[in-house]
Structure 1
């Protein structure tokens, strides 16, 4: 079955990433750092020229909301495989996973997977549900990205839309067979919320560097992070998702350097907030490393 082969491909790519994590982390850091130097040089951006109010909105509002929705998503994934993860454990796994994703370890997938295994899921069920979750998000991101392309590159938009709809139908069908229509509806609502927040984060991050990008055009940039999350080769797609954003910017008349820098600011905000919350969890004992059983 084609959809099962996609799940297997996702698992294989993550396994390759896990085996070569240190080398891939070095490559990712070089890509990200080099891209930052290039983007700042192209735009002549300084700390004094940054707009701090939209940055605060991202840090204090959008990122915490995104973390909360992602934690709810993990709880839903547990229900699909007939187990249960508490709200606290979902939040801990989400936060620690996001921070771990940029380290030379298997990252967020490992942390989320370990949480599912501890809840009672089998290894096969855990791999399947994480892969389907990524595919569903990727498909919706493709639909989002097609919207700003329709008036500019209609042929590309229709191809992207068709492919995304096919993957979306397949992933929704898989979840429906496993868990029913109620869980499917909840997963759809959560993903729409997460991708909408991602879009608003990009709008705000462009404002930080003095660029105004309409919400409709910002829909295109949700693809960068989502594609690298699914492919999962470089840690957190570091440098790659920013590069994808820079390339996509050419399709809608946005400066590639501005798109790279906005994507980088978005990432750094997420990592910074996640890091602070993770440290608080470790300090208070909310997070205590333990092996999966």
Structure 2
């Protein structure tokens, strides 16, 4: 029995390792065409947003201010804190340490850097881990591995939300579960079971956070969606952002959200707009965080500042 279990674990680890390789290969392929992809993605994003707003006949008076402020002032900082904790997990998985505040700063820079003509987010996170003593291979592999776990957890949520569509929902659910198991076994092999299960729990929490953000983004448009439907839109956003198809998934996450709209009884234009609002709110919070950190560092460096002797 022990031999069978060990053989099964070895097979699952190998599958997880191959999946990590696929994710890394996709990232490398995207590097060659990053500028073209960014231009195309911006066209899809802004063109789709303009069309959606036009079709919805939205005016400034239609925008619900309270949900928008909640998205910016509460959910934005919560997402940053979550990203910082995730950054610390990456470091712990490869036996290095990174401070909490520094991890938040790295996460904010990484989110903004995703829009650069290079795979900026991955570079920022990898560089931060290397600065703390990890090797390039270790850093790149753990970033790709946790990205795969993120996508697969989102697929499970999306599959549950889309079970009414039968084949699509069932495929996502099975694919997500199999990939989650393979990736968790891989992570346990690379690090340990404590970190692997912690990563899984953190991904589940992150999925709920994304679902909450998109629900609030719909409320900005005065549109209400069911909590279970939010998981489908969350999957669309996460898949678009993490699949390395376009910089930060710009326009891709919104387009996928529009595709998810009909099965969930929502207008495609509303879904595209809500996903765009969610993205813009997150970008604004990240930029403000970067400016705050940069301003604080500038103040410390000035003559007469706190560090001046």
Normalising by structure 1, we get a TM-score of: 0.93
- Which residue is equivalent to 1:195? 207
- Which residue is equivalent to 1:60? 73
**Comparing 191-200 and 1-10, the one that deviates more:** 1-10
- Which residue is equivalent to 1:221? 233
Q: 1:285, 1:201 → 2: CA distance? A: 31
Partner of residue 22 from structure 2, selected from 4, 9, 12: 9
Q: 1:106, 1:155 → 2: CA distance? A: 33
Unaligned runs of 5+ in 2: 1-13, 299-309
- Trace 1:67-216 onto structure 2 (pairs within 5 A): 67-150=80-163, 152-216=164-228
- Trace 1:247-258 onto structure 2 (pairs within 5 A): 247-258=259-270
Report the Cα offset of residue 146 of structure 1. 1.7
Report the Cα offset of residue 246 of structure 1. 0.2
Q: 1:106, 1:137 → 2: CA distance? A: 18
Partner of residue 266 from structure 1, selected from 262, 278, 286: 278
Report the Cα offset of residue 230 of structure 1. 2.8
Report the Cα offset of residue 185 of structure 1. 2.5
Report the Cα offset of residue 43 of structure 1. 0.7
Report the Cα offset of residue 148 of structure 1. 2.0
Report the Cα offset of residue 224 of structure 1. 1.7
Q: 1:20, 1:179 → 2: CA distance? A: 34
Is the Cα–Cα contact under 8 Å of residues 138 and 227 in structure 1 kept in the other structure?
Answer: yes
Report the Cα offset of residue 205 of structure 1. 0.7
- Which residue is equivalent to 1:289? none
Is the Cα–Cα contact under 8 Å of residues 225 and 241 in structure 1 kept in the other structure?
Answer: yes
Query: Are 2:261 and 1:246 equivalent residues in the alignment?
Result: no
- Which residue is equivalent to 2:303? none
**Comparing 59-68 and 152-161, the one that deviates more:** 152-161
- Which residue is equivalent to 2:293? 281
Larger relative contact order (C-alpha < 8 A, sep ≥ 6)?
Answer: 1
Is the Cα–Cα contact under 8 Å of residues 16 and 233 in structure 1 kept in the other structure?
Answer: no
Report the Cα offset of residue 263 of structure 1. 0.1
Q: 2:168, 2:41 → 1: CA distance? A: 29
Q: 1:85, 1:20 → 2: CA distance? A: 32
**Comparing 7-16 and 273-282, the one that deviates more:** 7-16
Q: 1:101, 1:75 → 2: CA distance? A: 19
Structure number, greater radius of gyration: 2
Normalising by structure 2, we get a TM-score of: 0.88
Is the Cα–Cα contact under 8 Å of residues 207 and 234 in structure 2 kept in the other structure?
Answer: yes
Q: Runs of 4 or more off by more than 6 Å in structure 1?
A: none
- Which residue is equivalent to 2:4? none
Report the Cα offset of residue 124 of structure 1. 1.4
Is the Cα–Cα contact under 8 Å of residues 54 and 207 in structure 1 kept in the other structure?
Answer: yes
Q: How many residues align?
A: 285
Report the Cα offset of residue 209 of structure 1. 0.6
Query: Are 2:245 and 1:233 equivalent residues in the alignment?
Result: yes
